[in-house]
Structure 1
Amino acid sequence: MSRVPTAPPPLEPGSRIAVVAPSRPIDESKLDRACSRLRETFDLDPVVFETARREWEWLSDNPRARAEDVMDAFEDPEIDGIIATTGGDDQIRVLNYLDPERLTANPTRFYGYSDNDNLRLYLWNQGIVSYGATLHPTLTVDPEIHPYVERYLRRAFFDDSLGVVEQTTEWTDEWFDFDTEEPREWRDNPGRTWYGDERVSGTLWGGCFSIVKWHLQTDRYLPEMDELDGSILALETSEDVPLPREVRYTLRTMGERGLLERFDGLVVGRPQTYSPGLEWEPPGDYGEQLREAVLSVLSEYNPDATAVFDVEFGHAAPSVPLPLGARATLDPSAEKVRVA
């Protein structure tokens, strides 16, 4: 039977929001900029916890301390929300030090994505909805917060649901240059691609493809398979820009273990296609290749599922803070994605 996590209460203007670094830290200038935007744009009071001030070398050596900071933030009655500084590549090391009772005793809205999807999948198992945003890049890039980002982040902070995830008119996967502060080049949104014609609703599970893959490989933090029955799988491929065949292979293994068929729907984020230092050159039709790879597996293992591609969540901008654990509805006839 599908589990339905509960969303912690929304924040209010003036609420205190803890800033923690369960993955990596960010430099002082980015931290200051993001905290200023929390205050000035959203009227929130950021409280910077110890890990957010630490250097990466210390955080790397102290996964237990990172877990402790998160739990302290959950337990603090003065804290109404918690936001991660940024992502990284090792947060799965932190999960072993978490005490689920300390998290569930005081459910609090947690915001993070990318490497923080480790913690978000852990929270899913504890019945806690969490939201996909971080200080960096969500609140640091661009000369001003993109109106689309602000609209949905405001809902994630203060509302009970995101509502309809509207299509943005423009998108980009360019890196923002903090030295020049030059605006990024935005492209017209080509729209979404739908597969299947059945309207489906279910609890969102998944997140960053790399993190989902780690959880499949370790098999330590996966829910019982029947808890995913009727859920909706959310996937986005991050700045790793994995080869489409790698995505296909991973989904195929999910199919072989009887996991892929549990989901009634699939939401795939618009893929990021650029990252500094990327070891291969993604082709211009990377998004199409990715879609074909996913559909080739879905058609074999779960042909009745409804899927939608190029939805605004993940690492390409602008992005909505898609909440894992919330109930989503995919409506192909109306071409709408709604998140309750």
Structure 2
Amino acid sequence: MDFVTPPPLRDDQALAIVAPSRPSDATTLRIGRERLASLGVETRVFPTADPDRDEPASPAARAADIEDAFTDSEIGAVMAYTGGDDQLRVLRHLDGGALASNPTRFFGYSDNDNLRLFLWNRGVVSYGLGLHPDLVCDAELHSYTERYLRRALFEESLGRVAPADEWTDDWFDFETREPRDWRDNPGPTTWVGPDADPDEPVRGRTWGGSFGIVKWHLQADRFLPDPERLDGAVLALETSEDVPPPREVGYTLRAMGERGLLERFDGVVFGRPRTNAPPLEWDPDPDEYPAELKDIVTRELERYAPDSVAGFGYDFGHTEPSFPLPLGGVATLDPADGALRFGSE
């Protein structure tokens, strides 16, 4: 199946805000729309994202909202308000043919990776970032997020993605709106498998998303692509605010290996993991967790995909700031300098 990157947002088109997971909050919705307006983007709020809604719409209604946004010729991009934990139930109600026939740039991640994997199966490239929290935290939109959001909205590809100069693991308090602490970004690190060429860039279409959503799709086994379509792909994963124990990530990758899936990926890009999150069932060490996660992942790759290349600590997913990783887009990972590029399909 061929892939299509939906065309950039035109000046005469609006961006639809939908809520495939949870309805919106009036204050953060307003802030997000204002910041999109500052980028020259007109927005339209679709029914599921109505801030007066107390509960999420039914799965069928949420699917209808997505289809209405994709098939509206006046809409050139669609952005999810926020994530959640329920979007898997929406997919059975979607008309995949209608979405594929009307490819539109979709923005979302976390629970919205359900829809992004659904679009991947139809050959439609989609993007990370959502309105909340990515566009509404802090006194202004972070310049790093803004730079790559502009590219994702208005350009053909993201091109070369540079590391952010700074990052934060702090949660933003929407009541006090106090500034967060930011720290220097050490940049990504690269692991080259024992059978891989350290001088040979890896190039392939990205598949994956938030670890929890990928695990759900492996468990449900209803929306996985044919394994052959993953040959030569790049697995993109990030661990979200769930902060799963490294061994759990390892177990899932091991199961993918035994299923004959992990060996199909030529490369892996891992997002910078959060360690500061809402109350957890365990207490991760913020200094040790990323290294433990890397060790577990590389152990399973060495077992099942020794000719792959993996990059860790990229600025996508639940880290802040972040860039909108194109799921289904062609990624090039250069082990010589850790560079990550998107485009030239």
- Under a length normalisation based on structure 1, what TM-score does the superposition of the two structures give? 0.96
RMSD (Å) for aligned C-alpha atoms: 1.2
Aligned partner of 1:333 in structure 2 is: 336
126-135 vs 277-286, which moves further:
277-286
Separation in 2, partners of 1:290, 1:133: 23
Question: Deviation string for 1:237-291 (max 9, x for gaps)?
Answer: 0000000000000000000000000000000000011112222211121000000
Contact 1:14 1:43 in 2 (8 A): no
Deviations 1:167-197 (A, max 9, x none): 1111111111111211110011122111112
Answering whether residue 72 of structure 2 is matched by residue 76 of structure 1, we say yes
Question: How far did residue 199 of structure 1 move?
Answer: 1.2
CA shift at 1:54, angstroms? 5.6
Name the structure 2 match of 1:199. Answer: 201
The 8 Å contact of residues 63 and 93 in structure 1, kept in 2 or not, is answered as yes
Alignment-mate amino acid for residue 5 of structure 2: A
2:206–2:233 contact (8 Å) kept in structure 1: yes
Give the aligned residue type for 2:290: G
- Structure 2, unaligned runs of 5 or more: 193-197
Amino acid at match of 2:190: W
Distance 1:25 1:202, change over 3 A: same
What is the 5 A alignment of 1:268-279?
268-279=270-281
Match of 2:195 in 1: none
Partner of 1:161: 157
- Matched-pair contact (CA < 8 Å) for 1:166–1:336: yes
- Distance (Å, rounded) in 1 between the aligned partners of 2:13 and 2:276: 36
Secondary structure of 2:298's match? helix
Give the TM-score normalised by structure 2.
Answer: 0.95
Deviation larger for 86-95 or 49-58: 49-58
User: Take 1:65 and 1:158, find their aligned partners in 2: how far apart are those partners?
Assistant: 29
Q: Which runs of 4+ in 1 moved over 6 A?
A: none
Partner of 1:143: 139
Instruction: Give the Cα–Cα distance (whole angstroms) in 1 for the partners of residues 52 and 86 of structure 2.
Output: 15
Separation (CA, whole Å) in 2 of partners of 1:156 and 1:15: 15
Query: Equivalents in 2 of 1:217, 1:188: separation in Å?
Result: 38
State the one-letter code of the partner of 1:313.
Answer: F
SS in 1 for 2:153: helix
What is residue 264 of structure 1 aligned with on the other side?
Answer: 266
CA distance in 2, matches of 1:259, 1:101: 26
| Aligned twin of 1:188 | 184
Gaps of 5+ in 1: none
Matches within 5 A, 1:24-63: 24-40=22-38, 42-53=39-50, 58-59=55-56, 62-63=58-59
Choose the corresponding residue for 1:9, options 7, 10, 22.
Answer: 7
Residue 282 of structure 1 is matched in structure 2 by: 284
2:101 to 98, 105, 125: 105
Classify the secondary structure of the residue corresponding to 1:215.
helix
Equivalence for 2:255 = 253
Of 247-256 and 96-105, deviating more is 96-105
Q: Structure 1 residue 293 and structure 2 residue 319: aligned?
A: no
Aligned counterparts of 1:56 and 1:64: Cα–Cα separation in 2: 16
Please tell me the residue identity of whatever aligns with 1:47.
R
Relative to 1, partners in 2 of residues 1:220 and 1:55: Cα closer, same or farther, differing over 3 Å? farther
Instruction: Report the AA paired with residue 219 of structure 1.
Output: D
Identity of aligned residues (%): 57
Structure 1 counterpart SS, 2:60: helix
Question: Are 1:4 and 1:325, in contact at CA under 8 Å, matched by a contact in 2?
Answer: no
- What secondary structure does 2:56 align onto? helix
Q: What residue number does 1:322 align with?
A: 325
Between the two proteins, the alignment pairs up a number of residues equal to 336
Contact persistence 2:189–2:338 (CA under 8 A): no
| AA of the residue aligned to 1:261 | E
Tell me, in whole angstroms, the C-alpha distance in 1 between the residues paired with 2:322 and 2:65: 27
Cα deviation 1:23-73 (Å, max 9, x = unaligned)? 112210000110111112x1111000000016676326x110000000010
